[in-house]
Amino acid sequence: MLRMNPKRNPVRPILASVVRLQSIPLVHQRGLAMLVARVLRSALKLRYIVLGGAAAGTVSLHQSYQNWKDSLPDTSWLKDLMPPPEKIDAWQGSIIEFKNKVKDFEIDPETKALGQKRLGEFRHWFDQRLDKAIKATEDETTAHMSEETHLTRNSNGDAIVMSPGVLQRMSVAAEKAAGKIHNPAERIESLYARLESLQDELIKVQLKYQKEIEKLEKENKELRKQILLRGKDVQTRRNIKKSLIDMYSEVLDELVDFDSSYRSADHLPRVVVVGDQSSGKTSVLEMIAKARIFPRGAGEMMTRAPVKVTLSEGPYHIAQFKDSSREFDLTKETDLADLRREVELRMMNSVRSSGKTVSDQVISMTVKGPGLSRMVLVDLPGVISTQTIEMADDTKESILQMSKQYMSNPNAIILCIQDGSVDAERSNVTDLVSQMDPHGRRTIFVLTKVDLAEENMSNPDRIQKILSGSLFPMRALGYFAVVTGRGGKASDSIDQIKQHEENFFRNSKLFKSGKIGSTQVTTKNLSLAVSECFWKMVRETVEQQADGFKAMRFNLETEWKNNFPRLRELDRDELYEKARGEILDEVVNLSQVSAKEWEELITKKLWENMSLHVFENIFLPAAQSGSSNTFNTAVDIRLKQWAEQKLPSKCVEVGWEVLRDKFCQFLESAKASKDHDKIFDALKASVVDESFKRHQWEEKAPEVLRVIQLNTLEDRSVHDKGQWDGAVKFLEQCLKDRLQASKEFLHQMVGPGTFEKWLKWRYPSDSQQLRAAVKSEIEAILNNGGNSDKHAASLSPEEITVIKKNLEARGVKVDLDTIKTTWFAIYRQGFLEKSLNKAFECKKGYWIYSRGVEGEIDCNEVVLFWRIQQMLKVTSNALRQQVVNREARRLEKEIKEVLEDFGQDKDKVCQLLTGKRVQLAEDLKRIRQIQDKLEEFIRALNTEK
């Protein structure tokens, strides 16, 4: 209950004056009674304002303390760690001392909950009784009132305005009644002075209680800090309960990742800060966060992406990004500068990635500190009126769409920031907010730069209209006036700005005149109001959202059972890890390949790549020379050039291809397994391709091979009969392969023969018929005289002329190139047949070769292929050693690096692991995570209640 001090009751002198009026004549008594009634009403209502403000301040103080007490974490497990009783008694003593300071006003604990209601009932009763008395008096003295006498009230019914004539007449009557003052002007000044003194007294009382609340918070801050720090010291025994606002922020982060468009499920409350560019949005956020955490610019756009700031209480004033482990100490200017640079860098990177002036990529940040209000705020880019040439063409529209997107959330609290130093008609954001929240059920209006507005504004009533909601068409839950700077002093600290704000409102004419209410000023009151609105909306909506996600989870689980009944619900990360394990298993299989298998694979691949060069550039040119000495000389020269230039690097490429083919063979064989999952095929192929792109053979390997190959090719001595037979067999096989290829090539040139025409119904084309005619003429020349085996490697000009004339006589026109290409195929086939016959004869030529006897059979071709065969053996052996000892391990390392890189590139993994099965599993995982976090948050929220 509220108890008034009778010693300080200003009503008693006025009642005494009423008694003195009994001796005055009736006519004058009525006028004086009117004066006394009016003065009495003003004094009582002003006294009520003082008493109401003081009582409300005391109730607010008690409520703030109770809220702080309820918000403490569960510390029942800290019984052994609590301070000794002496410290607790000292702390209680500070509370009692505070109570003694406000002993003029006592609050009955039993009526605390009904205090506000009873005060309202008392005010209503008092106003009714006073209005009835005044009305009765006015009815009696209507005839004696002059035209200049009038009474007006403001919208709240508190202010009384009297014309100078009436005030003078009332003053004279009062003087005569009291018998004290004989000068009416002095009496008017006295009344005004009294009103101003009572107004100043009201301001001082409110500021007094505000200071006491802050003092109490500072005295208890150290205790809260010690509790939180001791909780961290014993975290090994039991983890401290996570902050409620941190849990809520994690839910929002999960929802942003799940649905960044906010269209389906992300309807949880958050505070969306919107305003015109340079209206002071960022400064308001910094005052609430109690740190200069955002980059600043002189008139240019600084906020280019949404910044989500989670405010929570903690022992130290720190900031941290969601995706970073670094903590910025907000009490150090160096860390603050680093934090501002990091925010600016992240914004610019998000803009570069999108190629626009503004980006919708959210930058998430957590700010903790003693006494911070718990809430989640999202700072959006400022609304602009005109685009500059440096901006993208769609910048203005992008900002509007982004603002509408965030405000369209039915549970978003809109913090509408309006610059008070500019004309209200220039605002763009108020119309936007009124469109998104026409009834003002979730909008809080903030007027910034009020100090500049008061200094420059000629009509103070305009600010009153703004803060009463009568100037703009938009509606709001509350209207606040704040000061967030000192006129261009960007280097001021938050404490300096806060002190400047308090000093301004303490001395402000707007505040003293009653045009701005005491609860409508300072960022501290704004922060408390926003936090209260935020948590109220959270409690009203969070369970509804949890039920929505529960239903969504049930639907997804049912869809999975119907579509993939025998498969586990593996999300993309789990699938990637499974594919990673299978790829590494195949890498291990490379070590199981035997040395013999490696050499066989390398030898086969080497000959496939070099056989054409051996035949076309070494064997055929030397064999067509017609002389044994010339053959050996040409072979030696060409082999040496080949070994010194292209052969070593070509062999290294072959070794790389063999390693790749063998690894791919393991992957292909795994596809035949019944446990094979096709969903991994694209990922495995991409990993293999990227790994072999990075894989480079050892740099010194070509030089090592060059020395080995030169030494091997210089050896012309076949050591035994077994090597001779092996070389002959190798030569025969190579000649047969080339002969078969030559026959197929010639067959394609001339088309099907008579047998194919009759039995397989194949017919030659026009070009094939032409080449068949050329072939018949060439064969006629070769068979003429039976010297086909001794014919030169090319046709003579006379022979070409004969062929052309014979064909022209048959009506066939042919060019020179057709004749030469046809001759080359025919001669090549004949030469290979002759070389193959010669190889058959050389099977028994080792004795002649070993004795050095010159005979009819020349087996230089066998020696050539023996040298090549030996070179293939030593090369495959060297490459096999390199593969087994080094290259397979290096490949394994590179595959692991590629897998690691792919694992960090989420877009790459999403591109390679796709399909309905993957997306459904991903959605199930995210829904379960969100639901679990929501339920955990609801449990903690209910516990806090």
Using one digit for the tens of pLDDT, what is the confidence trace for 548-569? 888 888 999 999 999 998 888 8
Q: What is the per-residue pLDDT for 276?
A: 86
C-alpha distances (whole Å) from 404 to each of 377, 433, 538 are: 16, 9, 21
Percent of the chain with pLDDT over 70: 70
* Least confident interval from 94-98, 287-291, 330-334, 742-746: 94-98
* Least confident interval from 36-40, 380-384, 556-560, 795-799: 36-40
Band of the pLDDT at 444, cuts 50, 70, 90? very high
Between β-strands 443-448 and 328-329, what pairing exists: parallel, antiparallel or unpaired? unpaired
Q: 366 in the Ramachandran plot: left (φ > 0), alpha (ψ -120 to 50) or beta?
A: beta
Q: What is the per-residue pLDDT for 872?
A: 93
Q: What is the per-residue pLDDT for 1?
A: 36
- Read off the pLDDT of each residue in 850-855 and give the average, rounded to a whole number: 67
Helix/strand/coil for 270: strand
- Read off the pLDDT of each residue in 335-363 and give the average, rounded to a whole number: 82
- 732: tokens are 């025969």
205's CB contacts (< 8 A; 6+ apart) are: 50, 53, 54, 57
Contact by Cβ (8 Å): 480, 444:
yes
914's CB contacts (< 8 A; 6+ apart) are: none
- The percent helix, strand, coil of the chain (3-state, each to 5) is 65, 5, 25
Q: What is the per-residue pLDDT for 112?
A: 43
**What domains lie within the chain, and their CATH numbers?**
244-547 (3.40.50.300), 586-904 (no CATH)
More reliable by pLDDT, 892 or 473: 892
pTM: 0.53
Amino acid at 682: A
More reliable by pLDDT, 76 or 220: 220
C-alpha distances (whole Å) from 691 to each of 651, 660, 784 are: 20, 10, 61
Q: What is the per-residue pLDDT for 879?
A: 93
Helix/strand/coil for 448: strand
320's CB contacts (< 8 A; 6+ apart) are: 326, 327, 328, 365, 366
Contact by Cβ (8 Å): 530, 375:
yes
Closest to 663 in 3D by CA, of 581, 580, 579, 590: 590
For residue 743, pLDDT over 60 is answered with: yes
Q: Which residue is listed with tokens 């005569």? A: 176
The 3-state secondary structure of 51-85 reads HHHHHHHHHHHHHHHHHHHHHCCCCHHHHHHCCCH
Q: What is the per-residue pLDDT for 419?
A: 84
For residue 810, pLDDT over 70 is answered with: yes
Q: What is the per-residue pLDDT for 156?
A: 38
- Read off the pLDDT of each residue in 260-268 and give the average, rounded to a whole number: 52
φ/ψ of 791, rounded to 5, equals: -70, 150
* Least confident interval from 201-205, 398-402, 426-430, 792-796: 201-205
C-alpha distances (whole Å) from 739 to each of 745, 827, 848 are: 10, 11, 27
Band of the pLDDT at 251, cuts 50, 70, 90? confident
d(CA 563, CA 919): 13
Band of the pLDDT at 941, cuts 50, 70, 90? confident
- Read off the pLDDT of each residue in 588-601 and give the average, rounded to a whole number: 90
876's CB contacts (< 8 A; 6+ apart) are: 598, 599, 600, 602, 603, 606
The CB-side HSE value for 493 (13 A sphere, CA atoms) comes to: 8
Q: Is residue 831 within a helix (H) or strand (E), and if so which, with residue range?
A: helix 816-841
Average of per-residue pLDDT values in the chain: 76
Report the length, in residues, of the chain.
945
DSSP string, 516-578: S-GGGBSHHHHHHHHHHHHHHHHHHHHHHHHHHHHHHHHHHHHHHHHH-TTS----HHHHHHH
d(CA 413, CA 859): 97
620's CB contacts (< 8 A; 6+ apart) are: 828, 831
Q: What is the per-residue pLDDT for 33?
A: 53
Q: Is residue 185 within a helix (H) or strand (E), and if so which, with residue range?
A: helix 184-233
More reliable by pLDDT, 222 or 735: 735
Using one digit for the tens of pLDDT, what is the confidence trace for 678-727? 899 999 999 999 998 898 888 899 999 999 999 999 888 888 888 999 99
Using one digit for the tens of pLDDT, what is the confidence trace for 172-214? 444 444 454 445 566 666 766 776 677 667 666 766 766 677 6
Q: Which residue is listed with tokens 């080995």? A: 708
Q: What is the per-residue pLDDT for 655?
A: 92
For residue 746, pLDDT over 70 is answered with: yes
* Least confident interval from 393-402, 742-751, 765-774, 849-858: 849-858
Percent of the chain with pLDDT over 90: 14
DSSP string, 500-529: HHHHHHHH-HHHHTTSS-GGGBSHHHHHHH
For residue 416, pLDDT over 80 is answered with: yes
Q: What is the per-residue pLDDT for 750?
A: 86
For residue 529, pLDDT over 80 is answered with: yes
Give strand pairing partners of 521. 481
* Least confident interval from 135-144, 159-168, 388-397, 737-746: 159-168
Using one digit for the tens of pLDDT, what is the confidence trace for 2-47? 333 444 444 444 434 434 434 444 444 455 555 555 655 555 554 4
For residue 168, pLDDT over 60 is answered with: no
d(CA 794, CA 480): 104
d(CA 793, CA 60): 113
Q: What is the per-residue pLDDT for 56?
A: 47
d(CA 660, CA 656): 6
610's CB contacts (< 8 A; 6+ apart) are: 647, 650
* Least confident interval from 96-105, 502-511, 627-636: 96-105
The neighbour count for residue 422, using CB atoms within 10 Å, is 16
Q: Which residue is listed with tokens 């001794």? A: 790
C-alpha distances (whole Å) from 754 to each of 563, 708, 760 are: 60, 53, 10
Contact by Cβ (8 Å): 123, 48:
yes
More reliable by pLDDT, 513 or 567: 567
Describe the strand order of the beta sheet including 328-329 as a list of residue ranges.
328-329, 318-321, 363-369, 307-313, 375-379, 270-275, 412-419, 443-448, 478-481
The neighbour count for residue 780, using CB atoms within 10 Å, is 12
DSSP string, 115-170: HHHHHHHHHHHHHHHHHHHHHHHHHHTGGG--TT---B--TTS---B--HHHHHHH
d(CA 580, CA 419): 57
Helix/strand/coil for 263: coil
Q: What is the per-residue pLDDT for 143?
A: 41
338: exposed, middle or buried (Cβ count in 10 Å: 0-12, 13-18, 19+): middle
869's CB contacts (< 8 A; 6+ apart) are: 726, 727, 730
- 576: tokens are 């990637």
C-alpha distances (whole Å) from 481 to each of 453, 467, 471, 552, 614 are: 11, 8, 15, 44, 92
Give strand pairing partners of 311. 367, 375
For residue 468, pLDDT over 90 is answered with: no
